[in-house]
Amino acid sequence: MSLSEKDLYRDTPVRYLGYANEVGEAFRPLIKKIFVHASYGVSISYVLADTADKSIKQYEKPVALGGGPRGAAIATGDTLIWQMFASVIIPGYTINRICWVSKKALEKGKVKGPLRKWVPTAIGLLAIPFIIHPIDRGVDFVMDETYRKFVK
């Protein structure tokens, strides 16, 4: 991919589909579990689509440039592992725990009524932009020190 070529899955609003599960987790106190699970379906579908895209593009490159079956296999592993941890597992768990702690704090403060459900949701939604980049950098670091060293 050239520097001027846009990556549909990383450089456009399609990227936000990867955050669907975080939004689902934030709304967990207000919605049925089936909708939270569906948000994970959206995020995982995004991950699989990005993985397929990167794999096909790598496969189509000349072998001398890291393409072909081996290059595609490496790209598949790298994208799938990175995306699952950076877009689904770690952020989903993080937002889940942020909302849970918020809910427990409100219970301790004896807050009642709709605030008890809406405040954890608002805190969870507000936390999303703040957790994205640190999680991405952390997953990059771990991938650089493990998988990416192993496959070179």
Instruction: Give residue 4's pLDDT.
Output: 66
Output the six-digit token pair for 53.
């895209």
On whether residue 90 sits in a domain, the answer given is yes
> pLDDT tens, 125-145?
999 999 999 999 999 999 999
On whether residue 6 sits in a domain, the answer given is no
On whether residue 5 sits in a domain, the answer given is no
On whether residue 32 sits in a domain, the answer given is yes
3 pLDDT tier (thresholds 50, 70, 90): low
On whether residue 2 sits in a domain, the answer given is no
On whether residue 3 sits in a domain, the answer given is no
Number of domains into which the chain is organized: 1
Give the phi and the psi of residue 29 in degrees, each rounded to 5.
Answer: -65, -15
Q: What is the span of the domain harbouring residue 118?
A: 13-150
Mean pLDDT of 93-121: 92
2 pLDDT higher than 60: no
Output the six-digit token pair for 27.
């709304």
Q: What amino acid occupies position 70?
A: R
**CA count, 13 A, side-chain hemisphere, 30:** 18
> Residue 112 burial by CB count (10 A; 0-12/13-18/19+): exposed, middle or buried?
exposed
Instruction: Give residue 112's pLDDT.
Output: 85
> pLDDT tens, 42-58?
999 999 999 999 999 99
Do 91 and 135 meet the contact criterion of CB atoms below 8 Å apart? yes
Task: Report pTM.
Answer: 0.89
Q: What is the mean pLDDT of the chain?
A: 93
